Amino acid sequence: MDYFEDGKDFGVNITYIHQKSQLGTAHAVLQTQDLVQDDDQFMVLNGDNIIEPDTLSDLIDKHDGDASILTSKIKDTTGYGVVLTDNHKVTKIVEKPREKITNRVNTGIYLLNPRIFQIIEQTPISEIGEYAITDTLQLMIDNGFEVTNVTTNSRWIDAIHSWDLLKANSMVLNEYEDFDIKGTIEDGAVIRGDVAVGENTVIRSGSYIAGPVIIGDNCEIGPNTVIISSTSIGDNCSVEPFNHLENCIIMDNTRIGTHGYISNSIIGGNNTINPYFITEEKEDLMIEMKGILHHADKLGTVTGDDNMIGHNVLIKAGVLIDTNCRIESANVIQQRIVRNSIVI
């Protein structure tokens, strides 16, 4: 909402609707009923997907029947709902099967018509206390409505976990075209490849930056700092001397003290990180969240917002730090730090 506002700057009109009670995806769609005309078709998609225009064009061009589900074929379907079909008709939607029964996963992108609202009203509540749009679509199938499958070969990346943003960030940076240096590059600083530097940002002498890299507005980098390989730094950040940053995301209003090493990591906003902060990294990690193991190809750490981290702190690979935590100096963090924790 902060970014798009009313859509005027993008040539569209945007209306926002707040789902006050988190009662599931079908309930969320139902909130839009007053804005959809009787003869309208409308699209539903999730905010944590990365797509391209052709992804949506595939669905629009091939839509047929009462509703269409956009699917994508992927190798590892673990954790996804999958779609079974008979030719182009959907016969069954299976949520997160334990065994692989198809490589066609539900992207969560749908083309619907107003009839869906009547079916949502008939949708039973799920075992977890929500009204799911997949249950609504299955109810349509069971009652003879034509729900069709459209499989896309265009881009669809699902950012399920926070560390998925690293892959998305690398992809976007490698395709970005509007690299521009608006800030100040001091004598002795070296810039290589595609690098964007925001307004009022200063890259101090002795620093080395090799793109693709984006640095926001009002930042101070270095001196003698290295930033390489698909790194994004937000606005109002400072990265002090003798840091090495690689393939990471540093969000707004974060200060990183001297002599740090941050790689394959996401550092949230408004963090204060003191000198000698090190993130260990490993490949093929299994990370536990709420008793369930999740896979990460390669990861250092992910921190939330508003943390204070002392001197000489090492974060072991795959360890997550929540929000509003304080970690005192000379600690090795080997397990997840939950919100509002103090580590002494």
**Is the pTM higher than 0.85?**
no
203 and 183 Cβ atoms separated by less than 8 Å: yes
Confidence of residue 214 (pLDDT cuts 50, 70, 90): very high
pLDDT of residue 293: 84
pLDDT of residue 115: 92
Q: What is the mean pLDDT of residues 271-291?
A: 93
Is the pLDDT score of 333 beyond 90?
Answer: yes
The 10s digit of each residue's pLDDT in 150-200 is 999 999 988 888 899 999 999 889 988 889 999 999 999 999 999 999 999
Is the pLDDT score of 335 beyond 90?
Answer: yes
Confidence of residue 128 (pLDDT cuts 50, 70, 90): confident
Average pLDDT over the chain reads 94
Residues 332 and 208 in one domain: yes
pLDDT of residue 244: 98
Residues 173 and 37 in one domain: no
267 and 250 Cβ atoms separated by less than 8 Å: yes
Residue 123 domain flag: yes
Residues 130 and 226 in one domain: no
pLDDT of residue 291: 80
Q: For the domain that residue 168 is a member of, what is the CATH number?
A: 2.160.10.10
Q: How many domains does the chain have?
A: 2
Cis omega before residue 114 (within 30°)?
no
Residues 168 and 144 in one domain: no
C-alpha distances out from residue 92 to 146, 170, 188, 235, 269, Å = 12, 35, 62, 46, 42
Q: Which domain holds residue 207?
A: 164-343
Confidence of residue 41 (pLDDT cuts 50, 70, 90): very high
Bridging pattern class, strands 147-151 and 42-44: unpaired
Is the pLDDT score of 70 beyond 80?
Answer: yes
Sequence-distant (6+) residues with CB within 8 A of 144 are none
Sequence-distant (6+) residues with CB within 8 A of 297 are 167, 283, 284
